[in-house]
């Protein structure tokens, strides 16, 4: 039974990656709507958000072994979701109420975007790039040329971090990470965390599907 479920999950993942990568290659996931400037991460969430992002990037979800010497990270949060969290995450019964609250937060803020600051605490160097910088990086990757800018040297993936969604007491957190490394090369998955103490979030193995190529 478990093997059949895993097989169906992987087929579903492979069917969906084409659309995700097409959107990435067309630049639609990096397009910004006209209007007011993108705000910074809310001050009351800043410590938790950057702690969670740092935990995610401590073990990034990629489609290949992590050979990045430096991470290229989009400086705006938010990405298209190929799979709804309710379809991909099975929480134990004692977490159902809090997970429901988290899904309410997701429904309310799924289109919100925030501008990232250099506040990540990770072992690897990283660059926050705006859309123009990402476009340059992707163009160089397209023609398989050596990076013309030193800050791109050693970077393989473009990483986009989604918003972080919480239950009401902020004890559960959900985020999606998207990585793109070229034509038919990418990975997207939800990550769910539980607060261990004030500054520590622990990832829980409740996610059962992903998008990969």
Q: Give pLDDT tens digits for 136-156.
A: 888 877 765 555 566 677 899
Is 156 in a helix, a strand, or coil? coil
The phi, psi pair for 153, rounded to 5°, reads: -60, 130
Q: Which domain holds residue 173?
A: 2-32+42-212
pLDDT of residue 77: 95
pLDDT of residue 7: 43
Residues 126-134, mean pLDDT to the nearest whole number: 94
Q: Give per-residue pLDDT as tens, 10-21.
A: 434 444 444 444
DSSP string, 158-171: EEEE---EE-TTS-
Query: Would you say residue 72 has pLDDT above 50?
Result: yes
In a domain, residue 37? The reply is no
Query: Would you say residue 27 has pLDDT above 60?
Result: no
Q: Which residue has the higher pLDDT, 42 or 29?
A: 42
Contact between 99 and 136 under an 8 Å Cβ cutoff? The reply is no
| pTM score, whole prediction | 0.82
Nearest to 103, CA basis, from 177, 29, 168: 168
Contact between 88 and 209 under an 8 Å Cβ cutoff? The reply is yes
* Dist. CA 110–CA 117, nearest whole Å: 20
Query: Would you say residue 59 has pLDDT above 90?
Result: yes
Q: Give per-residue pLDDT as tens, 171-193.
A: 999 999 999 988 888 999 999 99
* Dist. CA 81–CA 189, nearest whole Å: 9
* Dist. CA 66–CA 157, nearest whole Å: 9
In a domain, residue 63? The reply is yes
Q: First CA to last CA across the chain, in angstroms?
A: 24
When divided into structural domains, the chain yields a total of 1
pLDDT of residue 209: 92
């Amino acid at each position: 039974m478990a093997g059949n479920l895993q097989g169906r999950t992987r087929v579903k993942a492979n069917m969906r990656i084409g659309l995700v990568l097409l959107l990435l290659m067309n630049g639609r996931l990096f397009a910004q709507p006209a209007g007011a400037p993108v705000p910074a991460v809310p001050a009351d969430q800043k410590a938790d958000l950057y702690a969670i992002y740092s935990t995610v990037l401590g073990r990034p979800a990629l489609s290949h072994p992590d050979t990045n010497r430096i991470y290229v990270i989009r400086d705006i949060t938010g990405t298209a979701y190929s799979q709804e969290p309710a379809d991909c995450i099975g929480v134990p019964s004692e977490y159902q109420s809090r997970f429901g609250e988290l899904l309410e937060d997701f429904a309310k803020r799924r289109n919100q975007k925030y501008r990232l600051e250099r506040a990540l605490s990770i072992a690897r160097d990283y660059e926050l790039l705006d859309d123009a910088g990402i476009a340059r990086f992707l163009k160089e990757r397209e023609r398989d040329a050596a990076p013309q800018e030193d800050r791109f040297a050693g970077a393989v993936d473009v990483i986009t971090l989604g918003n972080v969604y919480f239950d009401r007491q902020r004890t559960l957190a959900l985020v999606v990470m998207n990585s793109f490394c070229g034509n038919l090369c990418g990975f997207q998955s939800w990550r769910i965390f539980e607060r261990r103490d004030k500054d520590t979030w622990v990832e829980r193995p409740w996610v059962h599907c992903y998008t990969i190529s």
